[in-house]
């Protein structure tokens, strides 16, 4: 059922070409060697914003390290990995450094959602930016040890924090989130949040809770948001979602009931859509201008797979 890597055209933040070298991040000499490489490049994260260079053909997220430092980045870069043997680092800017850069004609400072949906940088750079953004967010909010309250220190090239007080080690985190398309034969449930752009309808989503399986999270979240009872749950694909550091676990969910009771706190509107109607939304040809999320989001690929294959996506 699952397809090989790269089979979801346009899906953002997914690019298996990054070699993370997770076992070697503690090798200080190796990290210095990578930092000294003429091929090393850095992405620059400034809170929720990303700094891009303007080029003749568009934008580029990769800076030479000296260029990045001249922007006023802080020390302690994160080692992201190797991309085609070239080291990639994540640098960060403090909030007060951003404003002076906004007037520079050679730079474009924008948020990662815009970069992904507008295709501002080469697709293969998105994963690099996503890793840097997620890790910088984690560092910014874990400066103190949750065990003893001491100030923690970055370790392992940015993938761990260590407490000098109690020696506790703190690892970077990922928050799993289920995103599911409820299916009732020839129709699927799509809904919209008040945060969506006008006319956009998507799959349902929610965070997994401690001690909960992926399947149970799909059933619970679907019932809470729509009132539907769910039978079979079929995993499809996942997507790192660096807002701030989630993993979207994309699933199809078999509806065992059809009456909807929408959670109006979460959902502005939602209803059943036929495969034909969903197809017109994917194609941006819906008669009332309704649309699905763009191909950069896993929801687009869940809806596309269902439009193409119907309830067969639920498996046996």
Residues that bind Zn ion (CB under 5 A): 145, 147-148, 150, 163, 165-166, 168
Residue given tokens 């076992």 in the structure block: 23
DSSP string, 170-226: EE---EEEEEEEEEETTEEEEEE-TTSPTTB-B-EEEE--TT--HHHHHHHHHHHHH
What residues have CB less than 8 Å from 117, skipping those under 6 apart?
294, 296
Distances (CA, A) of 115 to 8, 112, 173: 18, 5, 23
Return d(Cα 137, Cα 141) in angstroms, integer: 6
Given a contact cutoff of 8 angstroms between Cβ atoms, the answer to whether 133 and 45 are in contact is yes
Residue 37 or 147: which CB sits closer to Zn ion? 147
CA distance 63 to 88: 10
Nearest distance, CB of residue 166 and Zn ion, angstroms: 3
Nearer to Zn ion, 108 or 161 (CB): 161
Give the shortest CB-152-to-Zn ion separation in angstroms. Answer: 7
Check residue 146 and report its DSSP letter.
Answer: T
63 or 138: whose CB is closer to Zn ion? 138
Nearest approach in angstroms of CB 164 to Zn ion is: 8
| Residue 223 CB partners (closer than 8 Å, separation 6+) | 229, 230
- Min dist. Cβ of residue 301 to Zn ion (A): 42
Token pair 């989001």 in the structure block, residue: 297
- Give min distance, CB of 146 to Zn ion, in A: 8
Alpha-carbon distance of 137 to 45, in angstroms, equals: 9
- Whose Cβ is closer to Zn ion: residue 167's or residue 264's? 167
- Residues facing residue 175 across a β-bridge: 246
DSSP-assigned beta bridge partners for residue 26: none
- Smallest distance from the beta carbon of 74 to Zn ion, in angstroms? 23
- Whether 192 and 226 have beta carbons less than 8 Å apart is answered as no
Distance from C-alpha of 267 to C-alpha of 214, rounded to nearest angstrom:
22
Q: Are 299 and 292 in contact (CB under 8 A)?
A: yes
Nearer to Zn ion, 167 or 285 (CB): 167
CB of 138 to Zn ion, least distance (A): 17
| Closer residue to Zn ion (CB): 19 or 169 | 169
Nearer to Zn ion by Cβ, of 154 and 183: the residue is 154
């Amino acid at each position: 059922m699952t397809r090989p890597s790269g089979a979801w055209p346009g899906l953002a933040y997914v690019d298996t070409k990054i070699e993370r070298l997770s076992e070697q991040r503690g090798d200080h000499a190796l990290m210095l060697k990578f930092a000294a490489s003429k091929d090393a490049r850095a992405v620059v994260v400034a809170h929720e914003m990303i700094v891009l260079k303007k080029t003749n053909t568009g934008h580029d997220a990769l800076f030479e390290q000296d260029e990045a430092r001249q922007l006023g980045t802080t020390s302690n870069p994160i080692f992201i990995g190797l991309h085609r043997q070239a080291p990639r680092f994540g640098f960060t800017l403090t909030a007060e450094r951003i404003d002076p850069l906004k007037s520079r004609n050679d730079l474009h400072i924008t948020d990662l959602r815009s970069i992904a949906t507008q295709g501002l940088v080469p697709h293969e750079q998105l994963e690099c930016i996503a890793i840097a953004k997620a890790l910088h967010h984690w560092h910014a909010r874990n400066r103190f040890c949750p065990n003893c309250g001491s100030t923690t220190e970055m370790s392992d090239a940015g993938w761990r924090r260590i407490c000098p007080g109690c020696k506790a080690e703190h690892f970077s985190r990922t928050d799993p989130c289920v995103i599911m398309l409820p299916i009732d034969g020839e129709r699927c449930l799509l809904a919209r949040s008040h945060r969506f752009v006008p006319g956009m309808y998507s799959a349902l989503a929610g965070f997994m809770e401690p001690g909960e399986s992926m399947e149970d999270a799909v059933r619970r979240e679907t019932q809470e948001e729509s009132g539907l009872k769910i039978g079979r749950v079929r995993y499809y694909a996942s997507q790192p979602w660096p807002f701030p550091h989630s993993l979207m676990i994309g699933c199809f969910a078999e509806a065992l009931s059809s009456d909807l009771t929408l959670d109006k706190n979460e959902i502005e509107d939602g209803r059943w859509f036929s495969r034909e109607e969903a197809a017109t939304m994917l194609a941006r040809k819906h008669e009332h201008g309704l649309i699905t999320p763009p191909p950069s989001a896993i929801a687009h690929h869940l809806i596309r797979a269902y439009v193409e294959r119907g309830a067969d996506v639920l498996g046996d």
